[in-house]
Amino acid sequence: MVGTEHVEMIPVAKKEIWSAEVNGRPVEVLAPSNAILLDVLRDKVGTLGVKRGCDLGTCGCCTVMIDGTPRISCLCLAGQVEGTSIVTVEGLADGAHLAPIQSCFAEHGGSQCGFCTPGFLITAQALLNENNAPSDQEVAQAIEGNLCRCTGYQQIVESIQAAAAIHRGEVEPAAPASNPHPDPHPSGPEEPQMPPGHAR
């Protein structure tokens, strides 16, 4: 009968404490129980280096390392990776000293507009952690889920091979930056509201 149809509203997910180790630091934030990892990392943890490209699992911009394995964070529920160790691009450098993979991308033109770069860096670092002498074909296979509109990929492969040479000890890493820029968002864009007794 017209006027009696009733569409059930989907209840708003309640907020829960989500915890993990992010870039070597224990993190506790309040997030909806159905939150996507990409949203939690960007909006709650403040790791804005994790980029939102397609939001569909096809570009690789949002790649983070979870317990050593690269995974796209836009298709991952935060609750599925609770308690894991997560590395974002912010966690690659050793303080003000860039990791070899970062300095090699800068030196060999592996980054142009830079939007895809955090995902490539995480994917490449995960590869080098497992294999510091990959063939070009193995590099291509590792980065096949990461899309770049700028570089044509050749410079990216060269950057990864240059970093691999540093990992093997065949080449000295670049001298560390002497005057690092401060992080413009050290605490994240939104301060989480924590219940009493819970530190951020």
Which of 136, 149, 170, 198 lies at the binding interface for ligand FES (CB under 6 A)? Answer: 149
Nearest approach, Cβ of 79 to ligand FES (angstroms)?
18
Q: Which of residues 55-114 bind ligand FES (CB under 6 A)?
A: 55, 57-62, 72, 74, 111-114
- How many CA within 13 A on the CB side of residue 30? 12
Size of the site for ligand FES (CB under 6 A): 23
Q: Which of residues 109-138 bind ligand FES (CB under 6 A)?
A: 111-117
Question: Which tokens in the block code for residue 82?
Answer: 């609770």
Distance (Å, whole) CA 148 – CA 112: 9
Which of 64, 180, 54 shows the shortest CA–CA distance to 118?
64
Nearest approach, Cβ of 169 to ligand FES (angstroms)?
29
Question: Which tokens in the block code for residue 86?
Answer: 């997560």
- Indicate left, alpha or beta for 122 from its phi (over 0: left) and psi (-120 to 50: alpha): alpha
Is 54 near ligand FES (CB under 6 A)?
yes
Render 96-143 in DSSP notation, one character per residue.
Answer: TBPPHHHHHHHHTT--SS-SSHHHHHHHHHHHHHH-SS--HHHHHHHT
Nearest approach, Cβ of 56 to ligand FES (angstroms)?
6
Is 150 near ligand FES (CB under 6 A)?
yes
Distance (Å, whole) CA 73 – CA 147: 15
Which of 150, 94, 95, 87 shows the shortest CA–CA distance to 124?
87
Which of 148, 160, 162, 164 lies at the binding interface for ligand FES (CB under 6 A)? Answer: 148
Is 151 near ligand FES (CB under 6 A)?
yes
Nearest approach, Cβ of 1 to ligand FES (angstroms)?
45
Cβ-based nearer residue to ligand FES, 15 or 115:
115
Cβ-based nearer residue to ligand FES, 57 or 173:
57
Residues in the site for ligand FES, rule: CB under 6 A?
A: 52-55, 57-62, 72, 74, 111-117, 148-151
